[in-house]
């Protein structure tokens, strides 16, 4: 995968945007990635001063003195091929300089820090601190999981559940020697509420990625409680998914986005081919639900089952039900 495509597919994390005004930085990596970063920051009109150095496989260079390097807030290794290899080479070159300037990896440190809501320009801690309570919302697409996650986040005592293992982390794992398990451990360590609760969300279509990349998540998954969110009206669920694909709108959280969605809806024309695709989407949802049933059965997991239709009818009741199931509270406390 080319460097432009890698950064396009992780753009939702806004990693480079968050790096756009960070003082003096030195980026070191292979030519393709360094050229992309140089072009990106040149367009961003940042007031910061960034320098770039291409460290090729056969290069013995890097003629920076200790005094030169002390002018930088951080040295950032950037590579879509293998940042660990370049990091190790660079560290060998710098180890005799007694340098206090941090040497960081763009993905393994900075990307992880953004996702973990930690200070950006520091090494991501590899020490795993097990949260007091960890849980995952398991669901299929268009089942209302985003609404449930936001409701649980709003309680301020149930972690910050969202789909952490989505496209950006998957793209980096598949293409850039990114350690997805370490990433998840960092999230579980730091992305918790003050009472030590970590929440996440697993959509069924993530798990083929796990198998394709030989990710053994069973040890970590054994620490999770599971809430299984299902939508009984599969036709409505399939229609929701298909319309989202047609309008390119998966979530509506602003008036501007709602107006754009309405405009897109007015332009949709349903043809026979669309009905066939809708039926295929319906069949796919049934298969995805079978996946979860087999997943729970194989691991002897008895999840808390929440029906979307019942949840939207009485959200307070069901959020309290989840909190009691997780043993965060022992009696109803949440009011919306």
Kindly report the pTM of this predicted structure.
0.88
Name the one residue in this structure whose structure tokens are 């340098």: 99
Give the model's pLDDT for residue 67: 87
The answer to whether residue 55 scores a pLDDT higher than 90 is no
The answer to whether residue 44 scores a pLDDT higher than 70 is yes
Give the model's pLDDT for residue 50: 92
Dump strand ranges (E) for 129-251: 133-139, 197-203, 225-230
- Total H helices, total E strands in the chain: 16, 8
Give the model's pLDDT for residue 215: 72
CA distance 155 to 287: 33
Give the model's pLDDT for residue 336: 67
CA distance 165 to 186: 13
CA 111 to chain centroid: 9
Number of Cβ atoms within 10 Å of the Cβ of 68: 11
Cβ distance 304 to 325 under 8 Å? yes
Q: Does residue 51 sit in helix, strand or coil?
A: strand
Give the model's pLDDT for residue 164: 92
Give pLDDT tens digits for 211-233: 666 677 888 889 999 999 999 99
CA distance 255 to 36: 35
Cβ distance 258 to 252 under 8 Å? yes
Give pLDDT tens digits for 91-140: 888 888 888 889 999 999 999 999 999 999 999 987 899 999 999 999 99
Give the model's pLDDT for residue 192: 97
What is the mean predicted confidence (pLDDT) over 66-76? 91
Domains of the chain by start residue, with CATH: 3-116 (3.40.50), 133-325 (3.40.50.300)
Q: How far is CA 10 from CA 28, 247, 304, in A?
A: 20, 21, 32
Whats the size of the chain, residue-wise?
336
CA distance 290 to 204: 10
CA distance 87 to 188: 25
Cβ distance 152 to 325 under 8 Å? no
Give the model's pLDDT for residue 89: 87
Give pLDDT tens digits for 154-199: 999 999 999 998 889 989 998 999 998 999 999 999 999 999 999 9
Task: Give 153 or 98, the one with higher predicted confidence.
Answer: 153
CA distance 139 to 143: 7
What is the mean predicted confidence (pLDDT) over 1-9? 93
CA distance 118 to 110: 9
pLDDT band at 33 (very low <50, low <70, confident <90, very high): very high
Give pLDDT tens digits for 266-299: 677 777 787 888 899 999 999 999 999 999 999 9
């Amino acid at each position: 995968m080319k460097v432009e495509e890698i950064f396009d597919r992780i753009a939702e994390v806004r990693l480079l945007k968050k790096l756009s005004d960070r003082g003096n930085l030195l980026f070191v990596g292979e030519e393709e990635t360094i050229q992309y970063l140089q072009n990106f920051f040149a367009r961003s009109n940042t007031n910061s001063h960034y320098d770039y150095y291409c460290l090729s496989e056969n290069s013995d260079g890097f003629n920076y003195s200790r005094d030169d390097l002390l002018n930088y807030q951080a040295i950032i290794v950037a590579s879509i091929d293998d940042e660990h290899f370049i990091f190790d080479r660079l560290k060998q070159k710098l180890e005799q300089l007694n340098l206090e300037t941090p040497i960081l990896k763009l993905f393994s440190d900075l990307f992880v820090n953004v996702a973990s809501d930690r200070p950006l320009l520091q090494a991501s801690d590899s020490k795993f601190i097990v949260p007091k309570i960890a849980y995952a919302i398991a669901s299929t697409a268009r089942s209302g999981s985003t609404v449930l996650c936001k409701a649980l986040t709003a309680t301020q005592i149930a972690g910050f559940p969202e789909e952490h293992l989505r496209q950006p982390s998957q793209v980096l794992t598949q293409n850039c020697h990114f350690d997805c398990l370490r990433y998840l451990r960092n999230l579980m360590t730091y992305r918790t509420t003050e009472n030590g609760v970590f929440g996440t969300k697993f959509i069924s279509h993530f798990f083929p990625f796990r198998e394709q990349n030989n990710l053994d998540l069973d040890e970590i998954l054994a620490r999770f409680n599971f809430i299984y969110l299902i939508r009984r009206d599969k036709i409505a669920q399939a229609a929701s998914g298909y319309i989202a694909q047609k309008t390119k709108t998966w979530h509506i959280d602003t008036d501007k986005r709602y107006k754009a969605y309405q405009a897109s809806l007015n332009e949709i024309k349903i043809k026979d081919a669309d009905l066939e695709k809708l039926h295929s989407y319906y069949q796919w949802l049934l298969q995805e639900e079978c996946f979860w049933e087999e997943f729970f059965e194989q691991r002897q997991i008895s999840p808390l089952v929440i029906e979307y239709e019942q949840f939207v009818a009485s959200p307070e009741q069901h959020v309290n039900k989840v909190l009691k199931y997780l043993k965060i509270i022992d009696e109803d406390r949440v009011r919306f």
